[in-house]
Amino acid sequence: MSDQSLTEQLIALLHRPITQDDRTRAALHVLDWIGCAVIGATTVPGEVMKDYGRYEPGGSSKAIGVGDVRAETAAFVNGAFGNVLEMDDIHRTSVLHPGPVVIPAALAIAQATGAETTAFLDALIRGYEVVIRIGASVGLGHYKYFHNTATCGPFGAAAAAGSVLGLNDAQMADALGNAGSLAGGLWQLRNEDVMSKQLHNAHAARSGLVAATLAQRGLTGPKRILEGPQGFYAAMCPDATPEVLTADPDAPWMIYDTSFKPWPACRHAHPTIDATLLLRDRVGSPDDIERIVVRTYADAVAFCDRPDPQNVIDAKFSLQHVVAVVLRDGKPVLGSFDPKNFRRADMTAIREKISVEAGETFSAAFPQHYGAEVEIWGRNGLHEKATVADALGDPGNPVGDDTVITKARELMAAAGLPDAKVAAIVQKTLALGRGGTIDDVTELLP
């Protein structure tokens, strides 16, 4: 056994140099999160979390829709917002969402301590690095039962908060050890119409921040939380690959390997959306379609084979519904998953024609690639097929910065923010990478 624990080896990677380009990329992720969080705060679970935040007024960290609260409350409340509408950033091989956990933790502690913008952006880069590398190491056996954002998120939040606080390596190891001790989050929530996913993310952000602040004060934690005999891997990861944790130590920061999501649905449904969009103009009237087959990777089938969605979450996690949306209405928008739309008779008629199956090629490529194929048969000899190897927004099929900016604008506008305020938030957030201040951004948030 190495003298250094795996977390200590991982911490060593965080000392790599961070450039201005890296910080500019981090600022783009902050903007993407703000768009998702601002509209997430207007939803039913968002209102619940805002009401919770109002119980603890006072402090210097802003919770969206609440005001200034204690840092840990801000991390918790803001941590709940970013993923509500399934529009947040995602890392494909770790199968988790870094932004909605890492950003709230770093932002809350940066505000509480008056940290410089550079320290905040550097903390995001380090937090993304930790959560993604750990997430990539846990294996798909872990993902079968555990929500990776919830289980790996506390590590990333602790690394980000610890970076803002200037923890030394020993303190950072304590922070990661205790953050991992608090990790949890079961996928049972996907079998019921509940709001637990928002609690998962909120808890991950807050527990990481708390672990870091306690480490600064001397609270020790297990150094071998990952590889120990009763640690994270042994308890929760039957096919863990620890060697992934510190592989390619000179690679670009993992934030560059993180994807931006263009569609407001489960990421597992995105390659099916992309493939169907390629077919839409080739199949004519949807009423002439007789049969549709969706082939994708096994995890997408396990999570998203939902032919008869009964609620908004079901609809966002339904391969059948996203195909029907594209064929009937075009590119999915927020309202595509509202009850008035998933209950439409013309949507039901399309969904009933769809069968879903796992494709061996797609399953073998996952999670390095999120792919799908859609095949359509219809009247007058219609037979069309489209395949995508990588979902739009992934490194293998990237979107430009303008797409991310437009998405953030549209989400904030949909949340009811005036155009002038939206424009100011976009400008000030992107300016973080060029010397702008955190206060310039947070004072504009609702």
What CA–CA distance (Å, rounded) separates 442 from 446? Answer: 8
Architecture of domain 267-388: 2-Layer Sandwich (3.30)
DSSP string, 277-321: HHHGGGS--GGGEEEEEEEE-HHHHHHH--SS--SHHHHHT-HHH
Quick: pLDDT tens for 87-144: 999 999 999 999 999 999 999 999 999 999 999 999 999 999 999 999 999 999 999 9
Half-sphere exposure of 351 toward its Cβ, with a 13 Å CA cutoff?
Answer: 21
Residue 86 tokens, joined = 């399934």
β-pair partners for 186: 146
Q: What is residue 4's predicted lDDT score, i.e. its pLDDT? A: 96
Q: What is residue 15's predicted lDDT score, i.e. its pLDDT? A: 98
Give the global pTM.
Answer: 0.95
Q: What is residue 175's predicted lDDT score, i.e. its pLDDT? A: 98
Q: How many CB atoms lie within 10 A of CB 227?
A: 18
What integer is the mean pLDDT of 209-226?
98
Q: What is residue 57's predicted lDDT score, i.e. its pLDDT? A: 79
Q: How far is CA 331 from CA 14, 85, 114, 267, 336, in A?
A: 39, 16, 42, 15, 9
Quick: pLDDT tens for 65-100: 999 999 999 999 999 999 999 999 999 999 999 999
Quick: pLDDT tens for 23-52: 999 999 999 999 999 999 999 999 999 999
Beta strands 354-358 and 289-296 are parallel
Is a pLDDT exceeding 90 seen at residue 55?
A: no
DSSP H helical segments within 116-248, as ranges?
117-137, 140-143, 148-165, 169-181, 196-216, 232-236
DSSP string, 322-369: HHHHHHHHSS--GGGGSHHHHT-HHHHHHHTTEEEEE-HHHHHHTTT-
Q: What is residue 336's predicted lDDT score, i.e. its pLDDT? A: 97
Is a pLDDT exceeding 80 seen at residue 183?
A: yes
Q: What is residue 56's predicted lDDT score, i.e. its pLDDT? A: 78
Residue type, 249: P
Residue 345 tokens, joined = 């008779």
Beta strands 383-388 and 372-378 are antiparallel
* Domain covering 6-262+402-442 assigned CATH 1.10.4100.10 in the classification: yes
What integer is the mean pLDDT of 286-291?
96
Spell out the residues 6+ positions from residue 71 whose beta carbon is closer than 8 angstroms to its own: 59, 60, 61, 108, 109, 111, 112, 209, 213
Residue 375 tokens, joined = 């095949």
DSSP string, 86-115: S-S-BBTTTTB-SHHHHHHHHHHHHHHHT-
- % of the chain residues with pLDDT over 90: 98
Q: What is residue 187's predicted lDDT score, i.e. its pLDDT? A: 97
Q: Diameter of the chain by CA atoms?
A: 74
CA dihedral 200, 203, 209, 213 (to 10 degrees): -150
Q: What is residue 356's predicted lDDT score, i.e. its pLDDT? A: 98
Q: Where are the domains of the chain?
A: 6-262+402-442, 267-388
Is a pLDDT exceeding 90 seen at residue 2?
A: no
